[in-house]
């Protein structure tokens, strides 16, 4: 369970210090010591029930000391037990009880949230297993950022599978949110991990994933089926120096070379998965040179749809071009840092990226 910020933990002490400063300089008819009534509630934001109860006792005693100390406000000692002071002590005790209950409730909620985060992180690791970082001359690195910081899990997905046909990759974005999106992503990834090993060409891999998605959609009720489509890019890097791509309604990958950055637009994009059953066209494969020293960046629209405070979309290609040649891990770390700065630390959509680098000969 994460600790409260230091300033919040020290806030009760600052509050008491402020009252001590104000008490001697205020007129007698302004009993500033009554402000100590709020001390238990202030403490409840960062401290546990025992600490809040102790500070409640301290506040009552301190009110009595300030009320009966002539040097502080010129009041005689017998003021300590006047009715309005007794009422203040009782109010402080009542607020202390409420503050203790609030602190206990806060700690229970924080523990529950910590458990939820832990479960979500485990689910994320199961769903998005670590990609292999080197397959022969190919380096692969990944990046995942969830817009739901409390859950740390979302509907963006990626995978890299070394097979006898070469390295096969997928990156995708589920339209939905929350648990349904995670279930859809799990269906797609499970189908891809099997098809990547079994199917002889990339079109067959995409078609098999589409069949699995359609089968699952048929079991969904009502409008759920239409709201679970997935945009995706399937890529294949065989042993020779090319990359093959099947794009299903997804943002185009970037091909990064020492002399420039190119968007790999497809000549004939397929519709998103789960919508392909509405059309009869076959998948189209685009083939591009992928030589030693080249790098492929696959990403979800959480990258390109990040906005600055003026509402301008993130200019990915221009940014990557301005950074110059970077290794895959450096590229994704730079992208992560730049996205947070550009969006003022307010990403509104999940973000995933894969960087695939062909080592020089």
Query: Which 3-state string (H, E, C) describes 125-171?
Result: HHHCCCCCCEECCEEEEEEEECCCCCCCCCCEEEEEEEECCEEEEEE
Question: What is the reported pLDDT for 349?
Answer: 79
Domain termination site, one of 120, 137, 155: 120
Helix (H), strand (E) counts: the chain? 11, 11
| pLDDT of 286 higher than 50 | yes
- Same structural domain, 112 and 31: yes
Domain termination site, one of 104, 120, 136: 120
In angstroms, the CA 353 to CA 156 distance is 9
Comparing 156 with 354, which gets the higher pLDDT?
354
In angstroms, the CA 238 to CA 280 distance is 28
Question: What is the reported pLDDT for 75?
Answer: 47
- Same structural domain, 113 and 133: no
- Same structural domain, 107 and 144: no
Question: What is the reported pLDDT for 295?
Answer: 97
- Same structural domain, 294 and 351: yes
Comparing 215 with 172, which gets the higher pLDDT?
172
Joined tokens for residue 6: 């230091």
Joined tokens for residue 280: 């009869």
In angstroms, the CA 285 to CA 203 distance is 7
- Same structural domain, 113 and 178: no
- Lowest mean pLDDT, pick from 73-87, 106-120, 129-143: 73-87
- pLDDT tens digits, one per residue of 297-353: 999 999 999 999 898 999 999 999 999 889 999 999 999 999 999 988 887 778 899
Q: What is the pTM of this model?
A: 0.70
| 172 domain-assigned | yes
In angstroms, the CA 148 to CA 329 distance is 24
Sign of the CA dihedral running 268, 174, 166, 160 = positive
| 231 domain-assigned | yes
Q: With contact defined as beta carbons under 8 Å apart, do 98 and 41 qualify?
A: yes
- Same structural domain, 221 and 267: yes
Residue labelled with tokens 């999940």: 350
| pLDDT of 71 higher than 70 | no
List, edge to edge, every strand of the sheet that includes 260-263. Answer: 134-135, 138-145, 351-358, 295-299, 254-257, 260-263
Question: What is the reported pLDDT for 266?
Answer: 86
Residue 283: which pLDDT band, with cuts at 50, 70 and 90?
confident
Question: What is the reported pLDDT for 72?
Answer: 45
- pLDDT tens digits, one per residue of 242-272: 999 999 999 999 999 988 999 999 878 888 8
In angstroms, the CA 183 to CA 44 distance is 39
In angstroms, the CA 335 to CA 214 distance is 34
In angstroms, the CA 141 to CA 305 distance is 22
Question: What is the reported pLDDT for 170?
Answer: 96
| 211 domain-assigned | yes
What's the average model confidence in pLDDT over 3-12? Answer: 82
| 305 domain-assigned | yes
Question: What is the reported pLDDT for 127?
Answer: 67
Q: What is the dihedral of CA 20, 25, 26, 27, to 10 degrees?
A: 130
Most confident of 78-87, 173-182, 295-304: 295-304
Joined tokens for residue 140: 């692969």
Question: What is the reported pLDDT for 112?
Answer: 80
| pLDDT of 287 higher than 50 | yes
Q: With contact defined as beta carbons under 8 Å apart, do 147 and 349 qualify?
A: yes
Domain termination site, one of 120, 144, 162: 120
**Helix or strand holding residue 260 (H, E):** strand 260-263
- Same structural domain, 255 and 134: yes
**Helix or strand holding residue 67 (H, E):** helix 49-67
Question: What is the reported pLDDT for 198?
Answer: 94
Domain count, the chain: 2
- Give the CATH number, domain containing residue 141: 3.60.40.10
The alpha carbons of the chain give a radius of gyration, in whole angstroms, of 30
In angstroms, the CA 327 to CA 312 distance is 28
In the chain, the percentage of residues whose pLDDT exceeds 70 is 81
In the chain, the percentage of residues whose pLDDT exceeds 90 is 42
- Same structural domain, 329 and 243: yes
Joined tokens for residue 264: 């790999």
| 294 domain-assigned | yes
Comparing 207 with 347, which gets the higher pLDDT?
207
- Same structural domain, 320 and 271: yes
- Same structural domain, 95 and 178: no
- Same structural domain, 270 and 302: yes
The rounded mean pLDDT for the chain is 83
- Coil, helix or strand at residue 290: coil
- Same structural domain, 198 and 233: yes
**Helix or strand holding residue 357 (H, E):** strand 351-358
Comparing 49 with 215, which gets the higher pLDDT?
49
| 1 domain-assigned | no
Question: What is the reported pLDDT for 161?
Answer: 94
In angstroms, the CA 71 to CA 76 distance is 10
> Which domain, by its residues, includes 245?
128-358
Question: What is the reported pLDDT for 123?
Answer: 62
Residue 29: which pLDDT band, with cuts at 50, 70 and 90?
low
């Amino acid at each position: 369970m994460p600790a409260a910020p230091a300033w919040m933990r020290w806030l009760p002490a600052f509050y008491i210090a402020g009252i001590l400063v104000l008490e001697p300089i205020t007129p007698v008819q302004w009993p500033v010591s009554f402000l100590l009534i709020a001390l238990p509630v202030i403490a409840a934001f960062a401290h546990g029930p025992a600490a809040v109860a102790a500070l409640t006792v301290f506040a009552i005693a301190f009110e009595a000391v300030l009320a009966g100390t002539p040097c502080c406000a010129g009041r005689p000692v017998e003021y300590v037990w006047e009715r309005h002071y007794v009422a203040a002590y009782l109010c402080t005790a009542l607020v202390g009880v409420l503050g203790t209950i609030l602190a206990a409730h806060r700690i229970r909620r924080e523990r529950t949230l910590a458990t939820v985060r832990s479960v979500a992180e485990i689910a994320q690791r199961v769903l998005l297993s670590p990609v292999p970082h080197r397959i022969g001359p190919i380096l692969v690195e990944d990046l995942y950022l969830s817009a739901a910081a409390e859950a740390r899990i979302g509907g963006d997905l990626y995978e890299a599978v070394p097979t006898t046909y070469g390295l096969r990759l997928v990156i995708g974005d589920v339209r939905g949110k929350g648990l349904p999106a995670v279930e859809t992503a799990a269906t797609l990834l499970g189908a891809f991990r099997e098809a990547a090993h079994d199917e002889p060409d990339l079109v067959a891999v995409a078609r098999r994933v589409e069949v699995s998605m359609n089968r699952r959609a048929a079991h969904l009720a009502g409008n759920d089926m239409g709201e679970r489509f997935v945009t995706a890019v399937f890529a294949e890097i065989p042993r020779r120096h090319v990359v093959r791509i099947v794009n299903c309604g997804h943002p185009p990958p970037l091909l990064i070379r020492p002399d420039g950055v190119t968007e790999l637009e497809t000549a004939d994009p397929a519709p998103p998965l789960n919508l392909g059953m509405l059309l009869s066209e076959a998948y189209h494969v685009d083939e591009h040179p992928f030589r030693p020293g080249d790098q492929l960046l696959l990403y979800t629209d959480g990258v390109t749809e990040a906005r600055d405070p003026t509402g301008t979309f993130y200019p990915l290609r221009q940014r990557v071009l301005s950074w110059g040649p970077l290794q895959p891990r450096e590229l994704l770390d730079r992208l992560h840092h730049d996205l947070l700065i550009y969006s003022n630390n307010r990403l509104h959509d999940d973000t995933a990226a894969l960087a695939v680098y062909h080592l020089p000969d």
